[in-house]
Amino acid sequence: MTDDLDEMGPIDYLVVEFPGSKMTGEGLPLLVELHDRGIIRILDLLFIRKELDGSVAGLAIADLDHDGVLDLAVFEGAASGLLGTEDVDHAGSVLEPGSSAGILVYENRWAGPFAAALRRGGGRLVANGRIPIQEALAALEASEVSA
């Protein structure tokens, strides 16, 4: 197990809200493809709903796009233990009442060899982050205007 941990890539999470609990399932085949190609490894996958009274409840993985097939059955039971009750409560606190969300914790397997090489070379991660696409687009647009 230690050898596997030494080779792991960075682990990220995301919470995607579906206002009004309107999930089309359009992104699900792409998530499955990322997994099948070995680009990511799904560690935790959970769907929640925030009721109109503010309470939060888990949702079963189901036929989200209503085509008669369980969309994410391949990930049913994906639970590494990284995603706890406090995390679910926090995710629920940012949702609008009547909305649902998917909570995904995943390993960036594509970065595993690079991350392992850095660790073997004595490197350690001291900061990381993500630039929201809206900010990136605004910065690129501003740089084009000033050029």
**In this predicted model, what pLDDT tens digit does every residue of 79-126 receive, in sequence order?**
788 888 899 899 999 999 999 999 999 999 999 999 999 999 999 889
**In this predicted model, what pLDDT tens digit does every residue of 38-81 receive, in sequence order?**
999 999 888 899 999 999 988 766 555 555 555 555 666 567 88
The SS3 call for residue 28 is helix
| Three-state secondary structure string covering 47-101 | EEEECCCCCEEEECCCCCCCCCCCCCHHHCCCECCCCCHHHHHHHHHCCCCCCEE
What length is written for the chain? Answer: 147
